[in-house]
Chain A
Amino acid sequence: MIDRASLYDMKIEDLQPLEEAGVVEKEKIRIRGLNVWFSKKQVLQDLNFGIMNNSITAIMGPSGCGKTTFIRALNRMNDLIDTCRTKGEVLLDGVNIYGNGVDVFELRKRVGMVFQKPNPFPKSIFENVAFGLRVHNMANGQRLKEEVEQALREAVLWDEVKDRLNESALRLSGGQQQRLCIARALAVKPEVILFDEPCSALDPTATAKVEDLIRRLGENYTVVIVTHNMQQAARVSDMTAFLYLGKLVEYGSTRDIFTNPRNELTEKYITGRFG
């Protein structure tokens, strides 16, 4: 395969045939000139990079550098904030999600999200997972049950909850709740899953389980994960992007970034000499 990085100035349209032929890695998301403001304050500045298909991309950087803002730009959750303004393009399979005529609800179905703190609905375990399927009319009756089971299995939660599906989701432990939130996102069959520091509210054992799960999801989904935790980024991700003050400082394979950072800031950050 040709290294994708060497083809950066080629047009997406010209790259697509090469992707399909398997000559270059397929890019799932391309970020082109992405800028985000909250009121007058610019939070992301001219981001340009691509997120590989069926891979795990870690977004790292110090607190307040714009990691959350960045991943919320990928499913247009920033639209919900009145003061937020976005410029630039985010191409999902080559189509700009900020373009005219894009159905943002359809987009969010394709690009799922798991939040920092587990946020199950105050409903039963079953209903949490079934909710998206019901609302989008994707399944009902026996099919619904099967789909729910499948999503829970995929999130490695099924064995722990199969006898208590009608219990309140709020009675689960923190780690189980987070895996339930993952199952809830998986149920509507997304292509991309965004994780915003999914383990920061969990203890080490629960963290290990969720990390395991995320690594496995990377085989079939395009995963973008924000993390503060360097070891976590090193453990789970294929690619790493390092953001600082809203700018992309460095982007590359996780191995390169951790063993051979090109930028001084990145090096300082990963060696913990930051600040």
Chain B
Amino acid sequence: MMIKRITVRRIVDKLVASLALLSVIIAIIPLAGVIIFVTSKGLPAINLEIFTSLPRPPDEIGGGIGNAIQGTLILIGLASMVGLPIGVLSGIYLAEYGNNRFGSLVRFIADTLSGVPSIIMGLFAYVVVVLATRSFSAISGGIALGIMMIPVITRTTEESIKLVPNTIREASMALGVRRWKTIVLIVVSAARSGIITGIMLSIARIAGETAPLLFTAFGSDLWATGLNQPISALPLVIYRYAISPYASWQAQAWGAAFILVSMVLILNIGVRLIARGKYRR
């Protein structure tokens, strides 16, 4: 009787373990697939010119997507200028002072915001910025992406600050350090690897967004010269080139996809390295 129960338990154990392993493999297949696929198709299109040149008409040989890389970097920069301070500060607020109804409201808004489809963010920036300034622009695209960053950064910042043990807050206060200085110099510093992880993840997330850029940044065949003008971006180029009938453009779309995936991958590896933290045991 006893022995039987133990064998049954062992079989169930094995079964669950193998099922879990199987799920992991199934989850990894598409990820690996995407990377292999994008690499095999995209790598041949990679050369120096694709980084340094402007797009050419489809019937001409060569040309590149340098302006799209430039545009994506500028858009990420603009988005960070919007999303980073607001996100980090609201995260700090929620963790340190958000134990009330207003805090719950902010949390609810942040969670809702992160569920709003990205195209709606684009629509919002379109109405508020593009229509007001009568021009597609880098700024409007940056704002759309920046708003998308806010909830991710807010919640990861809040969570990592809440993980900071109260004992080190007390240690600082007991030295006669004011609450806000304690928060800035001790708590945020102790939580910084978590906060940076959140920031990097949010950047990785928006780097590939296409929908919110369609009617904000809009796209351009020129180098960006001003933030109040339409600007190119990698996802926009991929979208436009991939659905075009020209083989040369399609090849460049794969190249752009490869560059974008590499950027996100590098960001994520950076996150891992930072998340390891300097002052862990």
Binds B, one of A4-12, A102-110, A252-260: A102-110
A-B contact count (CB 8 A): 74
Select B175's contact among A123, A171, A185, beta carbons within 8 Å.
A185
Q: Is A1 an interface residue (CB 8 A)?
A: no
Contact with B along A70-114 (1 / 0, CB 8 A): 000001010010000000000000000000000001111100110
What separation, in Å, do the CA atoms of A170 and B167 have in the docked complex? 14
Residue count of chain B within 8 Å CB distance of chain A: 21
Residue B278, interface by CB 8 Å: yes
Return the 7 tightest CB-CB contacts between A and B, nearest first: A108-B176, A109-B176, A119-B167, A113-B174, A168-B279, A122-B279, A132-B175
B172 at the interface (CB under 8 A from A): yes
Which of B173, B185, B279, B280 is A108 in contact with, Cβ under 8 Å?
B173
Cβ–Cβ < 8 Å partners of B176 in chain A:
105-109, 132, 136, 188
Interface residues of B (CB under 8 A from A): 165, 167-168, 170-178, 181, 185-186, 189-190, 278-281
For chain A, give the interface size range: 20 to 34
| Complex Cα–Cα for A132 and B281 (A) | 23
Cα(A171)–Cα(B277), bound, Å: 13
Bound CA span A121–B182, Å: 11
Name 18 A/B residue pairs within 8 A (Cβ), A-sorted. A77-B170, A77-B174, A105-B176, A107-B176, A108-B175, A115-B167, A115-B174, A117-B167, A119-B171, A120-B168, A121-B168, A122-B280, A123-B189, A131-B186, A136-B176, A168-B281, A185-B175, A188-B175
Rounded to whole angstroms, the CA-CA distance of A168 and B280 in the bound complex is 7
- Residues of chain A within 8 A of B171, CB atoms compared: 115, 119-121, 181, 184
Specify the main secondary structure of chain B where it touches its partner. helix
A21 within 8 A of B: no
A135 CB contacts on chain B under 8 angstroms: 175, 177, 181, 185
Q: In the assembly, what is the distance between CA of A120 and CA of B172, in Å? A: 10
B residues within 8 A CB of A123?
189, 279
Residues of the B chain whose Cβ atoms lie less than 8 Å from the Cβ of A188? 175-176
Residue pair A77, B189 in contact (C-beta under 8 Å): no
B175 — which chain A residues lie within 8 A by C-beta?
108-109, 112, 131-132, 135, 184-185, 188
Besides A119-B168, A123-B189, A168-B278, 8 new A-B residue pairs in contact (Cβ under 8 A), listed by A number: A80-B170, A105-B178, A108-B173, A115-B167, A115-B171, A117-B167, A122-B190, A124-B279
Knowing A105-B177, A105-B178, A170-B280 touch, does A122 contact B172 (C-beta < 8 A)?
no
Best-buried of B170, B173, B185, B278 by chain A (most CB within 10 Å): B173
CB distance from A208 to the nearest CB of B (A): 24
Complex Cα distance, B189 from A117, in Å, reads 21
The closest CB in chain A to the CB of B164 belongs to A122
8 Å CB interface, A108-146 against B:
108-109, 112-113, 115, 117, 119-124, 131-132, 135-136
* A121 pairs with B186, CB closer than 8 A: yes
In the complex, A107→B178 CA distance in Å? 12
A→B interface (CB under 8 Å): 75, 77, 80, 105-109, 112-113, 115, 117, 119-124, 131-132, 135-136, 168-171, 181, 184-185, 188
Residues of B within 8 A of A107 (CB): 176
Report the bound CA distance from A219 to B176 in whole Å: 24
Chain A residues, CB < 8 A from B174: 75, 77, 108, 112-113, 115, 185
Residues of A within 8 A of B170 (CB): 77, 80, 115, 119
For A108, what are the chain B residues with a Cβ–Cβ distance below 8 Å? Answer: 173-176
B172 to chain A, nearest CB (A): 7
Q: Which residue of B has the minimal Cβ distance to A187?
A: B175
Which chain A residue shows the least CB distance to B167?
A119
Contact B279 A131 (CB under 8 A): no
In the bound complex, residues from chain A placing their C-beta under 8 Å from that of B281 are 168, 170-171
Which of chain A's residues has its CB closest to B179's CB? A80
Is B178 a contact of A119 with CB atoms below 8 Å?
no
Instruction: Provide the bound-state CA to CA distance between A119 and B170, in Å.
Output: 9
Give the distance to chain A from B179, nearest Cβ to Cβ, in Å.
Answer: 9
Measured CA separation A100–B171 after assembly (Å): 25
Nearest chain B CB to A148 CB, angstrom units: 14
CA distance A132 to B176 in the complex (A): 8
